[in-house]
Amino acid sequence: MSNEQQSVKMWSGRFREPLDGEFERWQRSIVFDWRLLDCEVAASKAHASALCAAGILTEAETAELRAALDAIAAAHASEEGQARVRDHASAEDIHHFVELSLAERIGSLGLKLHTGRSRNEQIATDLRLYVRRQIGLTVDALGAWARALVEQAQAAGESVMPSYTHMQRAEPVLVAHWLLAYVEMILRDAARLLDCSARLNFCPLGSGAVAGATLALDRNLVARELGFTAPTGNSIDSTSDRDFVLEYLQALTFVGLHLSRFAEEITLFATAEFGFVALPEAFSTGSSAMPQKKNPDLTELIRAKVGRIHGAAEAVTLLLKGLPLAYNKDMQETQEPAFAVEFVPPMLKLVARFTAALQFNRERMNEAAQSGYLNAMAAATYLVHKGVPFRTAHEKIGHAVRFGLEKGVELGALSLDELRRFGAEFDEDFYAAVTLTATLDCHNVTGGTARERVREALAAATERIAALAALKPGEVVHAGA
């Protein structure tokens, strides 16, 4: 194909004047939608099959087209090949690039492939394929992080730490119980992403530019080949829908939020003031000025990434607001925010390795869990079992805590005579009720930090993570599954 033929636009028949050169360069999307090459190839192969079934292409033509499409994908799979796509001199977008490449390889047969379809439905399909794949990568990476947390929880055994409310010590919990809190967040994140993939898993091909294809194409055939649940139900909605991009980015925002919370806690717990965890040297850096420093660069950067993710979601929200039906060129701007979060799966895998390398100072955590009257709730519960109304029990223990503060001792170090100043219900069995293990085990409810309950939760988390690994994007999952 000559350079003159290559420069002809897919839509240029109606126009007499060439595009302004600067505008042409400015409006091209090939500089970022090159990432969709494999998606475009897959969708184009499926469309060729539909054209064959409709009698537009012969079986031989279909085979030649599909082979040429595979060759295009293979020729540009490397980083060097991707750069050739991105820097192509005349292609407007990834669809134009594939059409030009087909014409170069197989001549006019390549031009027949666009029969019965529009770029509006092509990009809607390509983006769905891309987001579905990215969801799969993200869910896999979330599973890796969840497994690392479970392994740390298993290694922690019955080690204890303080829990916090308002950043003040609250009650003792098992270290495993704290770690499993993040596993719950991860499983919800994965469920949201997979629910999103189930909603997006409908195929727009056959929707035409807006009103539907003008040929009797078998849309179910195309949907099956591409792994979609079914064809989309309305051609206008099909070409104008970018809900799935926004939902994907919003679901990723939750992932970023939970990563940030974890990063914040590790950053705090690694300070000398807490001393609960030692930062792995392989994931830390030093100071150019202060030789003693070991800085938590990984957790600080992780904590910051949620801004980029949320920014992408916010950009798409503002872009879609008020757009009339159906396709508008504004929608081209939904692609870059979707591509901008490709860093999430690799980041999650990095966090999984970081989590596995963490070393907890169990002695320091255990000591912290046994000071500061963290057994006060258990002490009030002791009085409840003696028949004291909880509000009254709360007040009695509050007085005992105040007395202990003034004396400089914990509740378990007060004498029975001293305790009975605050209520005749106190007896010798009080001391057994406020030990560390008793304080843990009085939380003997589903989801509580009692030792037996945490053992059950660990086993259940292991099963749920294994079940997650067996799911594929497009399938429906629920957080409690």
Three-state SS for the chain is CCHHHHHCCCCHHHCCCCCCHHHHHHHCCHHHHHHHHHHHHHHHHHHHHHHHHCCCCCHHHHHHHHHHHHHHHHHCCCHHHHHHHHCCCCCCCHHHHHHHHHHHHHHHHHHHHHCCCCHHHHHHHHHHHHHHHHHHHHHHHHHHHHHHHHHHHHHHCCCEEEEEECCEEEEEEEHHHHHHHHHHHHHHHHHHHHHHHHHHCEECCCCCCCCCCCCCCCHHHHHHHCCCCEECCCHHHHHHCCHHHHHHHHHHHHHHHHHHHHHHHHHHHCCCCCCCEECCHHHCECCCCCCCCCECHHHHHHHHHHHHHHHHHHHHHHHHCCCCCCCCHHHHHHHHHHHCCCCHHHHHHHHHHHHHHCEECHHHHHHHCCCCCCCHHHHHHHHHHCCCCHHHHHHHHHHHHHHHHHHCCCHHHCCHHHHCCCCCCCCCCHHHHCCHHHHHHCCCCCCCCCHHHHHHHHHHHHHHHHHHHHCCCCCCCCCCC
Q: Give the pLDDT band of residue 19 (cuts 50, 70, 90).
A: confident
Residue with tokens 């692609």: 335
> 44 with 69: CB under 8 angstroms?
yes
Return the bridge partners of 278, or none.
359
* CA separation for the pair 207, 326 (Å, rounded): 11
Tell whether the model's pLDDT for residue 481 goes beyond 50.
no
The Cβ of residue 356 has, within 10 Å, a number of other Cβ atoms equal to 16
327 has pLDDT over 50:
yes
Q: What are residue 43's phi and psi, to 5 degrees?
A: -65, -35
Phi/psi of residue 443, nearest 5 degrees: -90, 50
Which tens digit of pLDDT belongs to each residue from 171-205? 999 999 999 999 999 999 999 999 999 999 999 99
What residues contact 202, with CB distance under 8 A and at least 6 apart? 128, 223, 228, 229, 230, 231, 232, 233
Task: Quote the CA–CA distance of 193 and 312 in Å, as a whole number.
Answer: 16
pLDDT at position 5 over 50:
no
The two three-digit tokens of residue 166, written as one number: 């308002």
pLDDT in tens, 21-65: 787 888 899 999 999 999 999 999 999 999 999 999 999 999 999
In the chain, pLDDT over 90 holds for what percent of residues? 91
Average pLDDT, rounded, for the chain: 94
pLDDT on residue 13 = 62
Percent of the chain with pLDDT over 70: 95
CA distance 102 to 41: 11
- Which is the catalytic residue, given 7, 12, 78, 287? 287
Express each pLDDT in 145-180 by its tens digit. Answer: 999 999 999 999 999 999 999 999 999 999 999 999
d(CA 94, CA 155) in angstroms, rounded, equals: 49
Torsion over CA: 442, 445, 449, 452 (sign): positive
Residue 298 contacts by C-beta under 8 Å, 6 or more apart in sequence? 263, 283, 284, 350, 351, 354
Q: Would you say how long the chain is, in residues? A: 481
Task: Let me know if 381 is exposed, middle or buried by CB neighbors in 10 A (0-12, 13-18, 19+).
Answer: buried
Q: Do 175 and 362 form a contact (C-beta atoms < 8 A)?
A: yes
> Catalytic annotation on 166?
yes
In this predicted structure, the answer to whether residue 1 has a pLDDT above a threshold of 70 is: no
pLDDT of residue 48: 98
Task: Delineate the domains of the chain, giving CATH numbers in brackets.
Answer: 3-115 (1.10.275.10), 122-215+234-368 (1.20.200.10), 376-434 (1.10.40.30)
- The catalytic residue among 2, 108, 166, 288 is 166
Could you read off the pLDDT of 367-401 as tens digits, one per residue?
999 999 999 999 999 999 999 999 999 999 999 99
First to last CA, the chain: 56
* Residue 444 predicted with pLDDT over 70: yes
Chain-centroid distance, C-alpha 223: 26
In the annotation, is 287 catalytic?
Answer: yes
Structure tokens at 242: 């970018």
| Residue that the structure tokens 């980041």 belong to | 347
The pLDDT of residue 473 is 81
Crossing angle of helices 175-200 and 119-156, in 10° steps, is: 160
Q: How far apart are CA 56 and CA 355, in angstroms?
A: 56
Using a 10 angstrom Cβ sphere, with 0-12 exposed, 13-18 middle and 19 or more buried, the burial of residue 287 is exposed
* pLDDT tens digit sequence for 229-267: 999 999 999 999 999 999 999 999 999 999 999 999 999
479 falls in which pLDDT band (50, 70, 90)?
very low
What pLDDT does residue 12 have? Answer: 60
**Banded pLDDT at 136 (limits 50, 70, 90):** very high
Q: What is the pLDDT of residue 362?
A: 97
pLDDT digits (tens, 9 = 90+) for 333-351: 999 999 999 999 999 999 9
